[in-house]
A and B are shown apart, each in its own frame.
Chain A
C-alpha cells in the first residue's frame, strides 16, 4: 500500500511537557483520515510538525514521499494547509489573497485567473471577493482558508479543526467538499466533532496526552468496540418507576453507563468477549423492566456511535461515575 503520511517515533517536547510521545502512524494515500483527541492532546502540534512549521524533538516523518525535516519548498508545493485559526493579511481582498497564493504556487495569467474564480465560486465568496478580509466573518475566513489550502490541488491536505466556526450549511458544504476529495487527495483532518468524522472519514487515530491510543479504520473501530447499547424508551408519565429502573440497571455488574437523554434510556454493557456479559445484559434487562413496572414503547439493541467509542478509549466512559459530572451537576441544578 502507498502511504501519503508516515511518522516513526515522532516526539515533541516543550520543556518538561511532552506534547507528542513516540508517535508512529501510516496513512494510506487517498484516504480521509480523522485525528481525534481532547483539547491539548497534541493534534495541532502534530499538524505543525507534518507541515514543517515546527521541528520534531525526535523521530521522523514523511509526507507525499518526502522527508518533512529536509524537504522545504518541494514538500510545500504538494500540500495544502488550513490552520485551526486561519490568519491572513487583513488588508488583502479575498480575490487578491487567492491570486497571491496561486502565484506562490507558480500560477500566472489566465490559468491563475480561472483558478481564482473557480475557488471563489466553490467557497461561495464570489460576492465578497473584492472586500477586505479584515471585514470577513469567522465562517467566511474558514471558507477562504479552505479555498487557499486547495488552490494548488494538493496531494495531501491538512485541516486543523476546520468545522468549528461554520454554520450548518457551511459545515455541510465543507464535508461535501472533503468527501469529493476522497481517492484523489489524502485529507488529514483533526477535529472534536465525532459525527463529522463518522460521516466523512475512513480512518481515525485517537490521540491523548501526546500518545497515540489507537489507529484504525472506522469500520475496524466499530467492530473492535462493538460494545452493544440498549435503548429503552418508556411511555410518558412514569418518572418514579423510570428512576427506580435506572438505579436497578446501574447496580448490575455488566453495566458501564446509563444515561437518560430526551426520554430515552441508553444502557452501555461491558465488553462482551471475556465474560459474555452482553448475553447477561440481554437476559437481565427486560426482567428488570418488568420488575420496575415500566411500560416501554421501544426496546432496541444498537451499536455504539463514535462518541461512545471515543469516550471509552480516552477512558472517560469507564469511570466509576456513570454520568458525566457536568451533566449531573446541571441536572441537580434544575431539580
Chain B
C-alpha cells in the first residue's frame, strides 16, 4: 500500500476542488429536509386537490417520515452515488493522470483503495447530514422525535449505497469510459432489483438492507439482520476485489 496516505490526501483535495463533496452535501441535505416535509404535507396536499373520494387519509405519522427518508436518501441516493463514482478511475485513465501517478512509487492497490475510501467517507458525510436534518426537522413538524434506531437505519442505508458504489467502481476500473461505468453500475442495480422478485431473495440482496433500515428506524427488531448485512458486505467486497485484480494488470496508457 505504498503511497496510500498521500493518495488519500490527494483524493480528498480533489473531492473539494471539483466540488464533489459540496454537491453531495447539498443534495443529501435536501433529501433529508424534504423527507419530514413530504411526510407531513402529502395528506394535506391530496386533500387540497379534492382528495380521494370515499377514502379517509390517516393523519401523517413518524413512520411516513421513515418511508420518505428511505425513498429519498437510498433510492435517489443511488443515482448520486453512481454519478460521482463513474469517473473515479475511468477519467484518470482517459486523461492519462493514472499513468502519471503509477510511474511513481504508488501501488495500484493504494491508488484504488484511496479512491474507494474517500468516496465512502463522502457518502457517509452526505447521509449523516441528511439524517441529522431529517431528525431535527421532524421535531417541530410532528411534535415527536424519531426513534434512536433511526441512526442505525442511516448506517444501513450507507451500506446500501456502498453496494452500488462498488459495482460502479468496478465498471470504472474495467472500462475507460465514464458512461460505460455508469451503465455498469446501473445494470448491476437493475439486475439485483430483478433478483429481489424471487421469493425470500431480498434478504440476500441490497434491497433487504432497506427492509432492515425501515424496521430499525421504527424501533422494531428485524429478522435476518446479521445475514443480510453479512451478504451485502460480500456484495461490496466482491466487485472491489475484482476491480483490484483487473486494474492491477491493465495497460494504463492514454490513447487520444
A53 touches B105 (CB 8 A): no
Contact of A83 among B13, B96, B106, B251 (CB under 8 A): B96
A53 touches B253 (CB 8 A): yes
A72 to B102, CA, bound (A): 9
Nearest-Cβ distance from residue A98 to partner chain B, whole angstroms: 12
A87 touches B96 (CB 8 A): yes
> With A55-B251, A100-B6, A103-B6 in contact, is A91–B17 under 8 Å at CB?
yes
A91 touches B14 (CB 8 A): yes
Interface check B3, CB cutoff 8 A: yes
Q: B256 contacts which chain A residues (CB < 8 A)?
A: 85
> With A104-B3, A104-B6 in contact, is A53–B251 under 8 Å at CB?
yes
Nearest-Cβ distance from residue A65 to partner chain B, whole angstroms: 16
Q: B253 contacts which chain A residues (CB < 8 A)?
A: 48, 53-54
B103 touches A53 (CB 8 A): yes
Across the two chains, which residue of chain B brings its CB closest to A102? B6
Across the two chains, which residue of chain B brings its CB closest to A52? B103
Contact of B105 among A51, A77, A87 (CB under 8 A): A77
Residues 97-135 of B contacting A (Cβ, < 8 Å): 97, 99-107
Contact of B104 among A91, A92, A101 (CB under 8 A): A101
Q: A89 contacts which chain B residues (CB < 8 A)?
A: 10, 14, 97
Q: A106 contacts which chain B residues (CB < 8 A)?
A: 105
Q: A83 contacts which chain B residues (CB < 8 A)?
A: 96, 99-100
A53 touches B99 (CB 8 A): yes
Q: B95 contacts which chain A residues (CB < 8 A)?
A: 87
A72 touches B6 (CB 8 A): no
Interface check A187, CB cutoff 8 A: no
Q: A103 contacts which chain B residues (CB < 8 A)?
A: 6, 9
Nearest-Cβ distance from residue A313 to partner chain B, whole angstroms: 28
Contact of A105 among B13, B102, B105, B107 (CB under 8 A): B105
Q: B3 contacts which chain A residues (CB < 8 A)?
A: 73, 104
Chain B contributes a number of interface residues (CB within 8 A of A) equal to 26
Residues 32-80 of A contacting B (Cβ, < 8 Å): 48, 51-55, 72-73, 76-77, 79
Write the A189-200 contact mask toward B (1 if CB under 8 angstroms, else 0).
000000000000
Across the two chains, which residue of chain A brings its CB closest to B102? A53
Nearest-Cβ distance from residue B177 to partner chain A, whole angstroms: 17
Interface check A88, CB cutoff 8 A: yes
Q: A85 contacts which chain B residues (CB < 8 A)?
A: 96, 254, 256
Interface check B193, CB cutoff 8 A: no
Across the two chains, which residue of chain A brings its CB closest to B95? A87
A54 touches B251 (CB 8 A): yes
Chain A contributes a number of interface residues (CB within 8 A of B) equal to 27
Residues 159-203 of A contacting B (Cβ, < 8 Å): none
Q: B10 contacts which chain A residues (CB < 8 A)?
A: 89, 100
Q: B14 contacts which chain A residues (CB < 8 A)?
A: 89, 91
B105 touches A76 (CB 8 A): yes
Interface check B42, CB cutoff 8 A: no
B106 touches A73 (CB 8 A): yes
A73 to B4, CA, bound (A): 12
Interface check B83, CB cutoff 8 A: no
B105 touches A104 (CB 8 A): yes
Interface check B18, CB cutoff 8 A: yes
A88 to B97, CA, bound (A): 5
Interface check B252, CB cutoff 8 A: yes
Contact of A87 among B2, B9, B106, B254 (CB under 8 A): B254
Interface check A81, CB cutoff 8 A: yes
A320 to B105, CA, bound (A): 51
Write the A82-97 contact mask toward B (1 if CB under 8 angstroms, else 0).
0101111101100010
B251 touches A104 (CB 8 A): no
A87 touches B107 (CB 8 A): no
A73 touches B97 (CB 8 A): no
Residues 274-294 of A contacting B (Cβ, < 8 Å): none
Q: B101 contacts which chain A residues (CB < 8 A)?
A: 104
Across the two chains, which residue of chain A brings its CB closest to B96? A87
Q: B252 contacts which chain A residues (CB < 8 A)?
A: 53-54
Q: A53 contacts which chain B residues (CB < 8 A)?
A: 99, 102-103, 251-253
A87 touches B104 (CB 8 A): no
Besides A91-B14, A100-B6, 6 other A-B contacts (C-beta < 8 A)? A48-B253, A53-B252, A54-B252, A76-B106, A83-B96, A96-B13
Q: Nearest 3 pairs between A and B by C-beta?
A: A87-B96, A91-B17, A54-B251
A interface residues, Cβ below 8 angstroms from B = 48, 51-55, 72-73, 76-77, 79, 81, 83, 85-89, 91-92, 96, 100-101, 103-106
User: Could you list some 9 contacts between A and B, CB below 8 A?
Assistant: A53-B252, A53-B253, A55-B251, A76-B104, A89-B10, A96-B13, A101-B104, A104-B3, A104-B106
B interface residues, Cβ below 8 angstroms from A = 2-3, 6, 9-10, 13-14, 17-18, 95-97, 99-107, 251-254, 256
